[in-house]
Amino acid sequence: MASSIPGVAELVAGARRLYGQVFGEEGPQVAVCAPGRVNLIGEHTDYNQGFVLPMALPMVTVVVGRETSGQDVTVVTATEDADEPHRVDFSLPSDGSPLSPGEPSWANYVKGVIQHYRAPVPGFRAVIASSVPLGGGLSSSASLEVAFYTFLQQLKPDDGDKISKAVACQQAEHTHAGVPCGIMDQFVSVLGREGHALLIDCRSLEATPVPLADPSLVILITNSNVKHSLTGSEYPTRRRQCEEAASILGKDSLRDATMKDLDEARGRLDDVTYRRARHVIEEIERTIQAAEALKRGGYKEFGRLMVESHNSLRDLYEVSCRELDELVSAAMEVEGVFGSRMTGGGFGGCTVTLLQAHAIDRTILHIQERYSGTPSFYVTTPSDGARALTLS
């Protein structure tokens, strides 16, 4: 059956306990959290300035801590799967020189956020705890970046601009994790809204909340529990191929290209570049249509677009894998399932399935029976973005 995830209060309690064990009596002064996300549709469109339709999850990363005098920073993670050591100590450079990334890798997100924080950063002590599965394609890294940024805001406030906050966290990922990601994950982790998905225009950075709280509907996340090592190298390659296609078409980005433009230029594009561009152009259109369908409760149409998106990611963009394809096929065999697709960067991680609430038990059972690996299931709802929490 579906896995239960620890709630925010439980995570905070655990982080406070660990804080006490590591730092002694004076407890943390602030606590914050930021969510992971699942993308409903609009995959690999964000860095092409297209549309995406993600929602924030109830799974969050929590940071508790306290400002200290001086320039010293100590951060401890309670995440068991994080690489060792689980504690880092460093000093904030007084001359503004950069904090270089290194080992352990989880601390690079913290260093990156400090680097790109939009106000002076004081010394501090902090503990991180998270219910977002690590490396499962649900944006555990964006939730850590945004949680940390939100933590720093409690110590020394910046101007409070939420879009600039998301962009600063994206920069942290670029410079300190070496992943040239788009804006989707950080954006929805900052601006997610309970009961809504967000239609984000990744060019204007405007977001339209789309209600998604129908009790007859369930959003099921299935974790394949596999992660293929391709992820690291393939993502930047896809991004480059898209930029190349846009440049051959004489456009700033694929957002400005139509299928007519692409077909007219076919002779000047190699087959792979053509297929990558086709996915992006059609996926941007599908995302707009899907948001419209959702607004009017057109779940069947939404589901059909999800499956089209998956097939395009599998055949044209080539970022799916056997396990994700199996999970989608299994889900689509169940009556009451509207649609299912891989979500996030690909090569493992999770699928997202939209179904009638009454079909949930048989869907989970059927996927369990049909999947060759060991899946985990999360029944989930759209949740709020990053926030400060009160410590009682």
Between 45 and 77, CB nearer to ligand GLA: 45
CB of 174 to ligand GLA, least distance (A): 10
Which residues inside 340-369 make contact with ligand GLA, applying CB under 6 A?
Answer: 344-345
145 forms part of the interface with ligand GLA (CB under 6 A)? no
Interface segment toward ligand GLA; rule CB under 6 A; list 1-9, 146-154, 181-189, 278-286: 181-189
Choice from 41, 63, 185, 299 touching ligand GLA (CB under 6 A): 185
In whole angstroms, what is the distance from residue 246 CA to residue 262 CA? Answer: 9
Give the single-character DSSP code of 25: S
- Is residue 44 part of the contact set for ligand GLA (CB under 6 A)? yes
Full DSSP string of 306-345: HHHHHHHHHHTS----HHHHHHHHHHHTSTTEEEEEEESS
- Examine residue 55 and tell whether it contacts ligand GLA (CB under 6 A): no
Q: Counting contacts by CB under 6 A, is residue 283 touching ligand GLA? A: no
Antiparallel, parallel or unpaired: β 376-380 and 54-67: unpaired
Pairing state between β 124-130 and 217-227: unpaired
User: Is residue 176 part of the contact set for ligand GLA (CB under 6 A)?
Assistant: no
Catalytic: which of 81, 185, 270, 315?
Answer: 185
3-state secondary structure labels for all residues of 92-161: CCCCCCCCCCCCCCHHHHHHHHHHHCCCCCCCEEEEEEECCCCCCCCCHHHHHHHHHHHHHHHHCCCCCC
Minimum gap (Å) between residue 184 Cβ and ligand GLA: 5
Q: Is 338 in the site for ligand GLA (CB under 6 A)?
A: no
Query: Considering the complex, what minimum distance in angstroms separates the CB of residue 238 from ligand GLA?
Result: 9
Report if residue 199 touches ligand GLA, rule: CB under 6 A.
no
First to last CA, the chain: 34
- Candidates 63-71, 182-190, 296-304, 351-359 — which segment interacts with ligand GLA by CB under 6 A? 182-190
Question: Six-digit token pair at 390?
Answer: 């009160």
Query: How many angstroms separate the CA atoms of 161 and 316, rounded?
Result: 37
- Closest contact distance (angstroms) between CB of 52 and ligand GLA is 7
Which range of residues in 39-47, 120-128, 154-162, 282-290 is near ligand GLA by CB under 6 A? 39-47
What is the H or E stretch that residue 219 is in?
strand 217-227
Phi-psi region of 297 (alpha: psi -120 to 50; beta: other; left: phi over 0): left
Does 125 bind ligand GLA (CB under 6 A)? Our answer is no
Cβ distance 254 to 242 under 8 Å?
A: yes
Give yes or no for residue 40 binding ligand GLA (CB under 6 A): no
Our finding on whether 46 is near ligand GLA (CB under 6 A) is yes
User: CA 382, 384, 386: angle at the middle one, nearest 5?
Assistant: 135
Span from 41-49, 63-71, 85-93, 121-129 in contact with ligand GLA (CB under 6 A)? 41-49
Number of chain positions touching ligand GLA (CB under 6 A) = 10
Q: Tell me, yes or no, if 270 is annotated catalytic.
A: no
Interatomic CA distance for residues 38 and 143, integer angstroms = 12
* Selected binder of ligand GLA within 40, 181, 197, 306 (CB under 6 A): 181
Query: In the bound complex, what is the minimum distance in angstroms from residue 242's beta carbon to ligand GLA?
Result: 10
Which residues are known catalytic residues? 185
Binding site for ligand GLA (CB under 6 A): 43-44, 46-47, 181-182, 184-185, 344-345
